[in-house]
Chain A
């Protein structure tokens, strides 16, 4: 009998809420704590620049981290359950490589335009909206292809392979785009691939937040069918679960979550694959009705910690987000998994 630690949910929620304070109060520039509070409650800080820093930089970053962490955690969990594979991650359906293709094409056309070519001139003025739109379009195009192919695929394993193959084809096209254009594009593309919670502005959040919340709501309603799927497709069918329809809904939700995050933050590594494992250990159950909210909260907490750590207070430097998530996160997960190796909940 595995313990159900439902009481952990409010604790995790409180930790995430508390972490928002250092996420907003700490950064390369030291802002008096009183001024931070003053800005947050809408007052006048001692230096008007603090309003800009906290209001437009740190708050956006913290909210982006919370949303992205929760989204990637939940998307990863649903994919691991759907494919019954502990190594599945939110990008397993090719969403990340699709977004990469969108961004590479956008950079190629706008950079060509910047150097005088007429093709793509209209895209330069799109700026951030164009880059995010291109990533989203690429992500959802690849998702649509995988979904269309999934109609003819019965087994989850075959679908997994189809997703990986479509991703490989997309990555090959990205390589071709990069080789065939200006080398400076490759540099920009590499930076995009490092992931970042910093680029999201308040205006971006008005689109990003509804996408993530919608994806989380859909995923949240999938607790029961996901529980049934854990025991295999045959069992799920015998329990009255419409496997194909469930599979489609899970894939759309995960695609929405992972595609949204990739469009705004780049392909953020590690969180999606590792957080579900951490959450399972913490709550001590594979019941998705508890595991889904727990994964969202642990994802948010981890992403907040990474956001704080990638802007070490007192140093004017930025550590790329994916360096933080993987370099620091992976050993932590290994340690946790090894300590809990006897636990029966580790799948």
Chain B
């Protein structure tokens, strides 16, 4: 009862502190017909509070989206999001080479499936006209659009089809956070490419907050902020629920050709597991990456943990687990049967929904993890992403 009250209270306080400022947006978010230099064309200003890999600054007729690291090791890039219908702005020198994207965009190419959920949750799917690999997309609305021929694949098999994209001329193409030799070609041909690297934000809430950038791109700032605030409220409520419980030791990852990658404390997985009340050998490691160990180290440090979160998908039974490596039989979790994999929800064309939806909904992953690590705190929980390996 007390926990429920606390959760409700948290939900309420976070909802009240929604990071939306300014007066109501002009109706319809349409293009400017009669430009007035004194008008603020971005009345709803959303700004990241958890994410560190992007920032937004506002000017009267344009906003500037800056991605600190558009791909691993990439230099920061800024994009001018110009309210459509506004004249070319007088940009400062540092933005002279920046790509200009007219917003709200009317056609958008999304290379990564993680972007699809953001677009769906703010109700902007009507602008989606291209996805990287259609088979990876699983959301019912997106699938319907693909089947109807309204959304086409532009990077099937990972190869970006530059000529086709230039012919289609979408308002913007969102990368999957990796660099590609075709991007300069596309940019030169007038198709703006935004380096979309939400995964380089290691915090789960930081990744979800990229929905705000999507809001500015599509003119749905208010919806984006509302969705995000609710995610934060639920996440924090879940976290608060297990904060006082003794942490459950957990084994993370698995062997691959003799090497066992253990997530460090500030990696996305590490943050989620810690927030769900789990503890493991690298929980205090401040790195956001992973530590490659061998079976020997993992067995001694974490082998006695009663719960094991496997990274390999598709294993059905404990016999499958042991077929991967007979030494797994020495792990305590194999004895308890509390072995879990992240493949409960597979889309109709084989895409793992975790990769599409999980980035925006860490609160759902956290709820699953709480139920895995502290089943007593989550009676009757219905799992979304995690599946227990059959004994």
For window 69-96 of chain A, which residues contact chain B by CB distance below 8 Å? none
The verdict on A148 contacting chain B, using a C-beta distance below 8 Å, is no
CB contact under 8 A between A58 and B296, given known A114-B313, A116-B351: yes
Q: Considering the chains assembled together, what is the distance between the CA atoms of A126 and B346 in angstroms?
A: 21
Contact check, A53 vs B299: say whether CB atoms are below 8 A apart.
yes
Residues of A within 8 A of B158 (CB): 179-180, 183
Q: Considering the chains assembled together, what is the distance between the CA atoms of A317 and B351 in angstroms?
A: 33
The verdict on A199 contacting chain B, using a C-beta distance below 8 Å, is yes
**Residues 316-346 of chain B: 1 if any A CB is under 8 Å from the residue's CB, otherwise 0?**
1101101111110010000000000001001
Q: How far does the Cβ of A133 sit from chain B's closest Cβ, in whole Å?
A: 12
CB contact under 8 A between A203 and B346, given known A124-B314, A125-B320: no
Residues of A within 8 A of B159 (CB): 179
Residues of A within 8 A of B295 (CB): 57, 198
The verdict on B312 contacting chain A, using a C-beta distance below 8 Å, is yes
Residues of B within 8 A of A266 (CB): 257
**Residues 243-282 of chain A: 1 if any B CB is under 8 Å from the residue's CB, otherwise 0?**
0000000000000000000000010000000000000000
The verdict on B293 contacting chain A, using a C-beta distance below 8 Å, is yes
**Residues 267-303 of chain B: 1 if any A CB is under 8 Å from the residue's CB, otherwise 0?**
0000000000000000000000001111111011101
Main secondary structure of the interface of B (DSSP, over half): mixed
Contact check, A49 vs B299: say whether CB atoms are below 8 A apart.
yes
Residues of A within 8 A of B350 (CB): 112, 115-117
Contact check, A56 vs B294: say whether CB atoms are below 8 A apart.
no
For window 130-174 of chain B, which residues contact chain A by CB distance below 8 Å? 157-159
Residues of B within 8 A of A337 (CB): none
Contact check, A202 vs B326: say whether CB atoms are below 8 A apart.
yes
**Residues 244-275 of chain B: 1 if any A CB is under 8 Å from the residue's CB, otherwise 0?**
00000000000111110000000000000000
The verdict on B315 contacting chain A, using a C-beta distance below 8 Å, is yes
Q: Which residue in chain A gives the minimum CB-CB distance to B258?
A: A198
The verdict on B61 contacting chain A, using a C-beta distance below 8 Å, is no
Contact check, B323 vs A201: say whether CB atoms are below 8 A apart.
no
Residues of B within 8 A of A114 (CB): 312-314, 343
Contact check, A318 vs B327: say whether CB atoms are below 8 A apart.
no
Contact check, B326 vs A196: say whether CB atoms are below 8 A apart.
no
Contact check, A317 vs B257: say whether CB atoms are below 8 A apart.
no
The verdict on A21 contacting chain B, using a C-beta distance below 8 Å, is no
Contact check, A115 vs B323: say whether CB atoms are below 8 A apart.
no
Q: How far does the Cβ of B175 sit from chain A's closest Cβ, in whole Å?
A: 14
Contact stretch, chosen from A155-163, A165-173, A187-195, A231-239:
A187-195
CB contact under 8 A between A318 and B294, given known A53-B299, A116-B352, A191-B257: yes
Q: Considering the chains assembled together, what is the distance between the CA atoms of A314 and B323 in angstroms?
A: 30
Q: Which residue in chain B gives the minimum CB-CB distance to A123?
A: B314
Residues of B within 8 A of A53 (CB): 296, 299-300
Q: Considering the chains assembled together, what is the distance between the CA atoms of A218 and B319 in angstroms?
A: 37
Residues of B within 8 A of A316 (CB): 291, 293, 297, 301
Contact check, A126 vs B257: say whether CB atoms are below 8 A apart.
no
Residues of A within 8 A of B349 (CB): 116
Per the CB 8 Å criterion, the residue count for chain A at the interface is 44
Q: Which residue in chain B gives the minimum CB-CB distance to A201?
A: B326
CB contact under 8 A between A57 and B313, given known A116-B346, A179-B158, A198-B259: no
Contact check, A196 vs B291: say whether CB atoms are below 8 A apart.
no
Contact check, A127 vs B296: say whether CB atoms are below 8 A apart.
no
Chain B's interface size range is 35 or more
CB contact under 8 A between A201 and B327, given known A114-B312, A115-B351, A196-B257: yes
Q: Total A-B residue pairs with C-beta atoms closer than 8 Å? A: 117
Residues of B within 8 A of A52 (CB): 299, 327, 330
Contact check, A28 vs B316: say whether CB atoms are below 8 A apart.
no
Residues of B within 8 A of A311 (CB): 294, 296
The verdict on A29 contacting chain B, using a C-beta distance below 8 Å, is yes
Q: Which residue in chain B gives the minimum CB-CB distance to A27?
A: B296
The verdict on A129 contacting chain B, using a C-beta distance below 8 Å, is yes
Q: Considering the chains assembled together, what is the distance between the CA atoms of A110 and B324 in angstroms?
A: 12
Contact check, B256 vs A188: say whether CB atoms are below 8 A apart.
yes
Contact check, A318 vs B256: say whether CB atoms are below 8 A apart.
no
Contact of B324 among A49, A113, A127, A197 (CB under 8 A): A127
The verdict on B347 contacting chain A, using a C-beta distance below 8 Å, is yes
Q: How far does the Cβ of B331 sit from chain A's closest Cβ, in whole Å?
A: 10
Interface centre among B158, B257, B297, B301 (most CB of A within 10 A): B257
Q: How far does the Cβ of B318 sit from chain A's closest Cβ, in whole Å?
A: 11
Contact of A125 among B301, B323, B325, B327 (CB under 8 A): B323
Contact of A197 among B258, B303, B326, B330 (CB under 8 A): B258
Residues of B within 8 A of A27 (CB): 294, 296
The verdict on A128 contacting chain B, using a C-beta distance below 8 Å, is yes
For window 115-171 of chain A, which residues contact chain B by CB distance below 8 Å? 115-117, 121, 124-129
Q: Considering the chains assembled together, what is the distance between the CA atoms of A304 and B140 in angstroms?
A: 55
Contact check, B259 vs A116: say whether CB atoms are below 8 A apart.
no
Residues of A within 8 A of B256 (CB): 188, 191
Q: How far does the Cβ of B181 sit from chain A's closest Cβ, in whole Å?
A: 14
Contact check, B292 vs A116: say whether CB atoms are below 8 A apart.
no
Contact of B294 among A28, A49, A111 (CB under 8 A): A28
- The 8 A-B pairs with the shortest beta carbon distances in the complex, nearest first, are A198-B258, A114-B314, A127-B323, A116-B346, A114-B313, A196-B258, A127-B324, A116-B350
Task: Given A28-B294, A125-B315, output 12 extra A-B contacts at Cβ < 8 Å.
Answer: A29-B297, A114-B312, A114-B343, A115-B352, A116-B351, A127-B323, A180-B157, A183-B158, A196-B257, A198-B294, A316-B293, A318-B292
Can you list 27 A-B contacts (CB < 8 A)? A28-B293, A29-B296, A29-B297, A49-B303, A52-B299, A52-B327, A52-B330, A53-B299, A56-B327, A57-B294, A57-B299, A114-B312, A114-B314, A114-B343, A124-B314, A125-B319, A128-B323, A128-B325, A179-B158, A183-B158, A196-B258, A198-B257, A199-B257, A199-B325, A266-B257, A311-B296, A317-B291
